[in-house]
Amino acid sequence: MQYQHQVTQEQHFVLQEWFVLQQQSEQQEQQALWLKIIGLLSWLWLIQSVNTSLLLLLGTIGSFALLEILLRTQQQRTTQRLLELEQARHQLHSADQPPADSHSVPIVAAQWQLRWQHQRPSGLALLMDYARQALKPTVALWYLWLIGATVLRSFI
């Protein structure tokens, strides 16, 4: 009977962490949209300003792109953790037999930072994570369009 209580408590913690991270992932999606909107409004304002240099326009676009890349990378890490929690919930839910000893039940909830510390990629791998996010069409195409419009406008 003690095993049932432990599994139920662990399931609760897994579900609680999943719920919080799911909300965070949705908020990050909204934040990415707001970054695009504010970036576009800033770009339009700068385009209409007199004597706005090409370098300032490109720097503004680059700043917003960098912020979105950082946000998308964090969102990807959140998604990976959500998948781990969903897998753990499935395993906890479908366990037929209790383990021989209570220490063999994996505690997966509330260990995101600990797991990150043990699985943290090297500096080059981290840069590759950021590059992968930068090359996603939802990120790259938007900012490439702004860069193209900026360059085109500077020559007209």
> pLDDT value at position 114?
75
Lowest mean pLDDT among 37-41, 52-56, 71-75, 143-147: 52-56
pTM of the model: 0.78
Q: Could you report the per-residue pLDDT of 118-147, keeping only the tens digit for each?
A: 777 788 888 998 999 999 998 999 999 999
What's the distance, Cα to Cα, between the start and end of the chain in Å? 77
